[in-house]
Structure 1
């Protein structure tokens, strides 16, 4: 059919937007395929119908022209017989004697000759099925012999109407005036219609009614309307012909352009007519036949209309079926997909409206039940995760505080043995401030300013023990009010002192710096202690994300895990070489989580 296209939709997502692609549904594909199958059928049938109508029309024209030609051949054959009759009659012995009867015959012979010639004329006239008249006229005697008793001939008549070709004029018969086709011949032949020099004139005529009878037979109940036409005379039509329609047709035809045989299509009375014509070789009249094209093509038109009606009904039925399929299948499926996407985005309260009298009722009911169970389970897991986090944080805090206390008590013990009261007083003062800060377990968060104050107390305690120790705190004021977990700097500073400064002779320096970027709040702890190799640094970074074991530094690992729980997977500790020569520990805290006042749910998702 066509290639599958894809529509895109953006949905809100943590940290930006999530781009989802939605493929074209199977319903749409099937619907488009059905349309694409119907369109070629419609085009093919329309083309086939047009070809069929053209072929039928051509065949009708050919058949009609053949019939016209055959009809004209019969007319011309009959007309030629009359033409030959005048020639044959002129050669009869009696006709030859009639030319000179006034010179050498007496009255008796003359009467007998006239009687014999009259019988032959009547016999010739009766031998032909057409209504006809045969007349022999002697100009010298002004006498005539004719088969029409009602006719009257004189020299003026022949001088006026003499024609060696077939003419058309009105004659008086026993039935009244009637049009005849007339042809004359003279013995001997004359020039320029010089009737006075002719010994005998033969007139052969047949009634136009003969043509009308043949036209009636030609029509014979068909749809055609044949008629004989000459621009100088009224047309010869069949009985029952619509003369007004024939007159309109004649007015639309340019007879000067018509010659031989041919066909044309003319519109009359808001209807198409096929006009066929053929010219008579003897009479030089035009035989014209016209018939309504609609009646001829009516079976094909009826078949075409029936096909289009069925096609329309099929299309309407298909559209209705498609609509029902769309409403009862596609729409519920789409609603189900929307609900699934809502569950995927974390909206576990999404529910589907139940449908009545639909197969999707059970499916929607089960989906709502499943969503409710998932929501209930998620809420239980969410609450449980918060409780676990609180217990873990308090456990970690309780683990860090004793670790630090052991070191302080060991120092006090040493100073007591040395009877250094000032060091003991300073240590207890700093230690009391430290524990006043750490024992407030109801407050898990603190500002960076308070955390730095505790670290300074801690460093001063160690400076009492290690005189060569010095420290620097360089943190911008903009970071001082950031809320962070308690006791995340002390284990790092302790690690720098124990594993760095104490392991190297000479002056020791610990530098604490702060930096605020668009993505994170960063604290950097540098020392100029013994440092570590690249391999050991890489091992430290890897151990931070592994479960706790005996060989790991307990305090530093606890800090890393607390940062991850609090600020997400993008936060934590990173170990590297320090520009001071020792070890650098970088504390990263996701700024977005700090600003949102992070929840345990986000932490669990990120993990």
Structure 2
């Protein structure tokens, strides 16, 4: 591939800028990837530390609360039924005081309750507590469970029983201890967690309400839950990156095996990687501006140097193709104006020298076409006149009149020797007259002519199709015993016109067809020049060198001869087009 100066300059600029931009974008991409990886690790580590502290606080509360199950005062209150009211009340107060101490050992507000199910009593660290058997049985859970109704609010609850209990049915136990952790304390923890970074943390478990920090964006949390609901039903931790409100967020989630909930946090990545991306955009803008400046400089060089050279080359090509009237316009006052002026003078001299030769060639070509047309004369005049004589003797006036009319039309058409072309409609009307003359003489002849209305106005040389029909009648149907058929069809395929003439005669062998096609291309000096050869050379002279004649066996049994040329200055629908 050949490149001009302008294209080479552009390629040079692009070849210099592209590696630099590619390297810069690769480095920034790697930087963003490293920062994202570190941000993911940091977020997961922070969540792991937070959950570890939360679990440690809960386990500490469990550690100081579960010994209540074997406390001497609790056992005395459970089994020593012989105590009087005052010792019983004193023991109850001691148990309540121990529960308060256990409750206060935690880092947040909670409630510790001792149940005596068979006695229908309960003692709580909260003085306002009143035993409710239905509440006790409904909230019974040996693992941590979230509940909407924990007396003074929602939260997590868990029930402990003595090891080796004969039953774990709530109504059959002698003794049980429950710890209630309230939701607002978890919200306080999330507020503290959020204050240390720019995330939006919340607790989530499928089927339960979210536990969020108090300044959380509820709409965004719901969208995050919708994305994560199908991924974090199991006990796994991980992360994902998603777009919300035209912002990219890093969503990390961490599973708490103790609570069976997930801690979820969403951090906007633009706050971290945004400056790097902005710097990348600025670099791209600067690169584009540099490229535009370089293109402008290359265009100036191209316009003042390459374009004059290109116009000179185009002028030479136009003259080479035969357009000797082409002249160059002088748009500048530099060194190229002198070359253009001398080119125009040279073109004018060449035009003067060639026009005389060209005019002579045109006259010679017109004479040749007239000679070729003049060679096509009817060979059946005497037979037609004989037919008229016979029909006159047989008193068949109708046949005589028809034959006379057809002969009149036939000779009126063939004796016009001007070079003006005719339309396909006119040519096929003449072919129809020619076939009618033959049909009057031979009633076993059948023919059909198909010409779409869209192709009727196409201009062709006079007597271009009739020789093909004459060959079909004389050579194709000469030895046919049954009804002889001739089919004429004009179609358009893609950008070419096809005139097909078929017969059901004896046809030709493949070797004979190949020989015939070779003879068509012989010059007039080497060939006798008649019949199909005349048609081929007239077709070439009128429609150009890409026109052709195709010969092949016919679908109806004989031979198919096809004239093909490119359509000019007419728009029609081709076969297969809508």
Please give the TM-score of this superposition, normalised by the length of structure 1.
0.48
Q: In the alignment, what sits opposite 1:399?
A: none
What do residues 91-137 of structure 1 show as CA deviations (whole Å, max 9, x unaligned)?
A: 3332332322424x222222222222222221222232211011112
Find 1:149's aligned residue among 127, 137, 145.
127
Cα separation, 1, equivalents of 2:53 and 2:217? 25
For residue 117 of structure 1, what is the aligned residue in structure 2? 95
Q: 1:164-563 maps to which residues of 2 (within 5 A)?
A: 164-171=142-149, 177-187=152-162, 189-190=164-165, 192-220=167-195, 222-252=197-227, 253-255=229-231, 257-269=233-245, 271-327=247-303
Per-residue deviation at 1:228? Answer: 0.6
- Give the 3 Å change call, closer, same or farther, for CA 28–244 of structure 1 in structure 2: closer
Specify whether residues 123 and 293 from structure 1 end up closer, same or farther in structure 2 by C-alpha distance, changes over 3 A only.
same
Query: Is 1:33 equivalent to 2:9 in the alignment?
Result: no
SS in 1 for 2:122: strand
1:254 deviates by: 0.6
Contact conserved, 2:111 with 2:180, CA < 8 A, in 1? Answer: yes
For 1:178, what is the secondary structure of its paired residue? coil
Q: Cα deviation per residue 1:353-405 (whole Å; 9 max; x = unaligned)?
A: 7968xxx6xx789x89xx9xxxxxxxxxxxxxxxxxxxxxxxxxxxxxxxxxx
- Secondary structure of the corresponding residue to residue 324 of structure 1: helix
Do residues 133 (structure 1) and 144 (structure 2) align?
no
**Aligned partners of 2:153 and 2:182 also within 8 Å:** yes
Greater Cα offset, 240-249 or 302-311 = 240-249
Q: 1:354 to 1:256 in 2, by over 3 A?
A: closer
Cα offsets for 1:299-335 (capped at 9, x unmatched): 2221221111111111112212222343456568989
**Structure 2 spans left out of the alignment, 5+ residues:** 316-326, 343-578
**Kept after mapping to 2: 8 A contact 1:101/1:110:** no
1:269-315 CA deviation, whole Å, 9 max, x = no partner? Answer: 55543322111011111112223444443222212211111111111
**Partner of residue 137, structure 2:** 159
Establish whether residue 55 from structure 1 lines up as the match of residue 34 from structure 2: yes
What's the CA shift string for 1:516-573, capped at 9, x where partnerless?
xxxxxxxxxxxxxxxxxxxxxxxxxxxxxxxxxxxxxxxxxxxxxxxxxxxxxxxxxx
Q: Distance in 2 between the 1:169 and 1:25 partners?
A: 80
Task: Check whether the contact 2:252–2:266 (CA below 8 A) recurs between aligned residues.
Answer: yes
Instruction: Provide the C-alpha distance between the structure 2 equivalents of 1:77 and 1:274, rounded to a whole number of angstroms.
Output: 27
* Aligned counterparts, 1:47-126, within 5 A: 47-103=26-82, 105-126=83-104
Distance in 2 of aligned mates of 1:236 and 1:68:
16
**Matches of 1:97 and 1:338, distance apart in 2:** 117
Whole-angstrom distance in 2 between the partners of 1:351 and 1:202 = 107
Give me the whole-angstrom Cα distance separating, in 2, the residues matched to 1:353 and 1:148.
Answer: 105
CA contact (8 A) 1:170 1:178 kept: yes
Show the counterpart of 1:44. Answer: 23
Q: Deviations over 1:15-62 (max 9, x none)?
A: xxxxxxxxx777754443222111222223333333333332222222
Cα distance, 1:218 vs structure 2: 1.5
Q: Secondary structure at the match of 2:46?
A: helix
Q: How far apart, in 1, do the equivalents of 2:166 and 2:278 lie?
A: 63
CA distance in 1, matches of 2:243, 2:166: 48
Which whole-Å CA distance do the structure 2 matches of 1:185 and 1:206 have between them? Answer: 14
CA–CA separation in structure 1 for the residues paired with 2:235 and 2:306: 69
Partners of 1:335 and 1:231 in 2: how far apart?
76
- Point out the more displaced range, 128-137 or 254-263: 254-263
Contact 1:226 1:287 in 2 (8 A): yes
Shift of residue 179 of structure 1? 0.9
Q: CA RMSD in A?
A: 3.9
Deviations 1:147-167 (A, max 9, x none): 223332233322222111112
In structure 2, the CA distance between the partners of 1:57 and 1:247, relative to structure 1 (3 Å rule), is same
**Structure-2 separation of matches of 1:364 and 1:186:** 106
**Structure 1: 5+ residue stretches without partners:** 7-23, 340-349, 372-607
Change (3 A) 1:315 1:258: farther
| Residue aligned with 1:306, SS | helix
Aligned residues: 337
Shift in Å, 1:209: 1.6
2:115 is paired with a residue whose SS is strand
Q: For residues 242 and 351 of structure 1, what CA distance do their matches in structure 2 show? A: 72
Q: Distance in 2 between matches of 1:32 and 1:167?
A: 69
* 8 Å CA contact 2:5, 2:306 repeated in 1: no
Q: How many Å separate the matches in 2 of 1:144 and 1:258?
A: 36
Distance 1:351 1:96, change over 3 A: closer
Shift of 1:237: 0.8
User: Relative to 1, partners in 2 of residues 1:127 and 1:364: Cα closer, same or farther, differing over 3 Å?
Assistant: same
Cα distance change of structure 1 residues 110 and 304 upon mapping to structure 2, 3 Å threshold:
same
Q: Which has the higher contact order (CA 8 A, sep 6+)?
A: 2
